[in-house]
Amino acid sequence: MATLAERLNTLFATVVQVDAHGRRREYSTPHVARTISEDPAHDTTVSRVYLATLRSGANTNPTIAVIRALAKFFDEHRAPGTPHITAAYLLGDEPEDAEERELRAKLADRHVRMIAMRAGDMTPAVRKQVLKMIDVLLAEDEEQQP
């Protein structure tokens, strides 16, 4: 089972923003801490240093209020159509099926995320064409492997 730090870092890697140049960027630790602390929906405050210790695994016992605030931030910033981010997920209490685990593992790769994010901007017809192209490339790749 993944640690809180691993789950949190997965969220930082997969829940991204688009900058002024159209590039997808991770939210910074200071930005997330500041946004949580300024959220009028709750009284929870988080410093960038504290959040960094959660991400590094140096601190493994945050309050439930901090967990809920983190889940709220990432859930509000997730891409449309992606699974909701919950406190239970961060705590490791939410069962993840094999497909969800595989998806999260693959999305940890920056290039996979880049492909997925671009695919999200395509029409369904173009996505079908891209899937056919990927199938051809995968078949060629399998033929070349010993």
What's the mean pLDDT in 116-145?
Answer: 89
- Residue with the bigger pLDDT between 98 and 123: it is 123
What's the mean pLDDT in 86-91?
Answer: 91
Asked if the model's pLDDT at residue 77 lies above 90, the reply is: yes
The pTM (predicted TM-score) of the whole model is 0.67
What's the mean pLDDT in 48-54?
Answer: 98
What gap in Å lies between CA 118 and CA 139, rounded to an integer?
Answer: 22
DSSP 5-56: HHHHHHHHHHSEEE-TTS-EEEPPHHHHHHHHHH-TT------HHHHHHHHH
pLDDT band at 60 (very low <50, low <70, confident <90, very high): very high
Query: What per-residue confidence (pLDDT) applies to 61?
Result: 94
Mean pLDDT for the chain? 89
Query: What per-residue confidence (pLDDT) applies to 93?
Result: 77
Asked if the model's pLDDT at residue 124 lies above 70, the reply is: yes
Domain definitions of the chain by residue range: 4-97, 109-146
Q: Identify the CATH class of 4-97.
A: mainly alpha
Q: Which residues pair with 76 in a beta bridge?
A: none
